[in-house]
Amino acid sequence: MKIIAANWKMNGSVRFAEEFVSKINEVQTNHKVIVFPPAELLGQFQGFRYCLGAQNSAIASSGAITGESSPRILYDVGCRYVLVGHSERRTLFREDDKVVFAKWQEARNAGLIPIVCIGERRRRWDTLQKQLSRLRGQDLSQTIFAYEPVWCIGTGVTPPPEEIDDVLYFIKGLVGKQSPLLYGGSVTAENAKSILSVNNIDGVLVGGASLDIAGFSQIMQASV
């Protein structure tokens, strides 16, 4: 069983979410499926048979932080997972490793399982080491990591499977064996099977291709 996670980013609509839920509810899979819609659409997922997550959560569960999403309330409305440190948040909102650590901590306090995203710009593995430095030595038993090389997100480019395996092995050496490791970056219905066959992989985080319901159904059914 692998983890198949879908990050819609800021895409979708009420109508699309309703169609997605009704069609994906019909798809059988042995994999664990987690969908991360925009927070505004979480209410459309009542009756969804798979898991739900949030794309972002705040560094605190309550208080005066206008416009942020409380991890505790996200849990209340049915989320069990949250993305932390996605490269778009690191770049567009200047979320540094300190903020990522605070969000990871608060998400766990609220009962959410954080999926911590890490990724380098130019095949520089020391970046990954730096991004993980605050988390190393913490209790990572309820934490998932997603390796998302920035040069592969939304570009149609993926590293060769052997390279993904080498990086995941390197990450495992830093965080230990207890945390599942995902790969993300231009995963599609066409390449999912070969990526999911990588030795050290526990699943994939799918961005753009998760908005194609037929294609995402195929990824959910990839036999590995």
Please provide the DSSP assignment of 43-58 as one string: GGGTT-SSEEEES---
> Site residues for ligand PEP, window 192-221 (CB under 6 A)?
205-209
Is residue 55 involved in binding ligand PEP (CB under 6 A)?
no
Minimal distance, residue 27 CB to ligand PEP, in Å:
19
Site string for ligand PEP, 94-133 (x = CB under 6 A): ----------------------------------------
Is 31 noted as a catalytic residue in this protein?
A: no
> Site residues for ligand PEP, window 138-197 (CB under 6 A)?
148, 153-154, 184-187
Catalytic residue (one of 86, 88, 106, 120): 86
Site string for ligand PEP, 4-23 (x = CB under 6 A): ---x----------------
The answer to whether the beta carbons of residues 143 and 176 sit under 8 Å apart is no
Interior CA angle at 58 toward 64 and 95, to 5°?
A: 115
Minimal distance, residue 47 CB to ligand PEP, in Å:
26
Report the interhelical angle of 161-175 vs 125-132 (nearest 10°): 30
Is 162 noted as a catalytic residue in this protein?
A: no
Distance, CA of 36 to CA of 69 (rounded, Å): 14
The answer to whether the beta carbons of residues 29 and 5 sit under 8 Å apart is no
Minimal distance, residue 95 CB to ligand PEP, in Å:
15
Side chain identity at 192, as an amino acid letter? A
Distance, CA of 189 to CA of 191 (rounded, Å): 6
Name the residues annotated as catalytic: 86, 148
Binding site for ligand PEP (CB under 6 A): 7, 148, 153-154, 184-187, 205-209
